[in-house]
Structure formats: structure tokens, C-alpha cells
Structure 1
Amino acid sequence: MQINRDTLKVDAAQAPDAPRRLTFDGLMTGFLPAFRHLETGEVRLCRMENGQIAREHLLDGLPDHWIIDRDSKGRASALVYAIEPGFMRGAEFWTLSDFNHPALDG
């Protein structure tokens, strides 16, 4: 299961009345999708099945004690209440609400 944050880039040849889509390319530079356990403070980067760091939030690869339900194929489908999604930037964990008032460096 995944939580996808990808968006489409605006095509210059797109019809003028077509809805425009934002891209996160500039804003999201340096941010890696991750989950944090609120009780222990442990943070896990999201990883793909082959172990590479993922570009989107994936439930696969999280510790078993963070998972409360799996689908018929054994893939994680629900997490314990204490797990929150966010992003790692350097050594700092950013929650989704942190993006409302970012203190980005220049």
C-alpha cells in the first residue's frame, strides 16, 4: 500500500482551461518520506521491496509491531495509532502539519 504524493507537471501545450497541477520538485528537494512512532520517537525511512529509499510513503518494510492489519497477500494495510507519516530532511522529522508553517533555509 502507498500514499502517493506525486503530481503532474503542467504541459505548456495544455489547453488554457485545463486545471493546472503543482509539482513538488523544488519544495520537496531533500525531504525523504518516513514514518515516526509517537511513543518511542523511532523514525523509519520508507523503502521499496529491494531496500532502496522510496520516493513516496510505503507501508512495506515497516517493523511488524507497527502493523495491526495485513491484506490477503500479507502486505501491511493498517498501522498502529502511534505511527505518523512525515518526511526526514537531514536529521529532522517533519510532520505533514509542519508544512503549513515551514521554516525553510534560504
Structure 2
Amino acid sequence: MEARLSSTVLQDQNQQFLGTGGRSEENRGQGFRPAFMDSDNLAIYASCFADGRPAPFHLIDGLPEHLIASRLASGRVAEVKASVISGFVRNDRFYSRDEAAQYISSKLH
């Protein structure tokens, strides 16, 4: 079972997908925007700062309260529900990090 999403897990994913197109920095030019999907109901949530502004990278602090599994003593989000995955939205379609990387790879070759 994969770890619940946290800031640390997101950092690990960024390292894992470095150079593949599965990172915001590498796919933004193709119209991808960082997002999350709740695999329980397929609801998609744009990545946002805690104040609701769109974030240019994956950030769990702006997710709705019903997705939050735990918070730090400071009030920041520590983890989200296990059903939440990180990915991207492009043209109203959700792409997992793997799918975004495959898309970017197909455009380069």
C-alpha cells in the first residue's frame, strides 16, 4: 500500500518523476495544471494554496477539509485520505503523473 499523500511524499514523487514530464515544471508548457483526484468518487481538485489561490505545483494545503486525514500542530495539512492521488488536469481531463509523463514523452519522440 502506498503512503498517504503528504508534503514529503510529494517531494519524493517529484524526485521519482524528474526529467519524465510527470512534474509541473516539465509539463506546464503543454497545458497541464497540478491537481488531485479522489479515486473513491473520481472528483478532481486543482492544487491550491491554503487561501484558495491556484498553486503552480502540487500543494495539499488547499484541499477541501473532507479530504484531510491529519494536520500538524501548526494547522497545516499533514496527510490526506489514502484515496487521493496527485496528477494533472489538461483540457478537463485528469492525468496521473505516469500518464502525464507518457504524454510528454510521446510529444518528444
Query: Same-fold call, TM > 0.5?
Result: yes
Larger Rg: 1
Helix, strand or coil at the partner of 1:57: coil
Note the residue ranges of structure 1 that are not aligned, 5 or more in a row: 6-20
Helix, strand or coil at the partner of 2:28: coil
Paired residue for 1:97? 98
In angstroms, what is the RMSD of aligned CA positions?
2.9
CA change 1:51–1:100 in 2 (3 A) is closer
User: Quick one: higher RCO (CA 8 Å, sep 6+), 1 or 2?
Assistant: 2
**Cα distance in 2 between the residues matched to 1:56 and 1:27:** 11
Identity value in percent: 25
Cα contact 2:88–2:100 (8 A) shared by 1: no
Structure 2 residue 73 is matched with structure 1 residue 72:
yes
Matches within 5 A, 1:12-27: 27=27
Q: Larger % of helix: which?
A: 2
Quote how far apart the aligned CAs of 1:60 are: 1.1
Aligned length: 92
Deviations 1:10-54 (A, max 9, x none): xxxxxxxxxxx96x6664321110000001111010112343211
**Cα distance in 2 between the residues matched to 1:26 and 1:80:** 27
Cα contact 2:51–2:62 (8 A) shared by 1: no
Moved over 6 A (4+): none
One-letter code of the match for 1:59?
Answer: I
Note the residue ranges of structure 2 that are not aligned, 5 or more in a row: 1-5
TM-score where L is the length of structure 2? 0.68
TM-score where L is the length of structure 1? 0.69
**Cα distance in 2 between the residues matched to 1:26 and 1:96:** 11
Deviations 1:45-87 (A, max 9, x none): 0112343211110111211121111001111111111000000
CA change 1:34–1:26 in 2 (3 A) is closer
**Cα distance in 1 between the residues matched to 2:102 and 2:81:** 27
Matches within 5 A, 1:32-71: 32-71=33-72
Helix, strand or coil at the partner of 2:100: helix
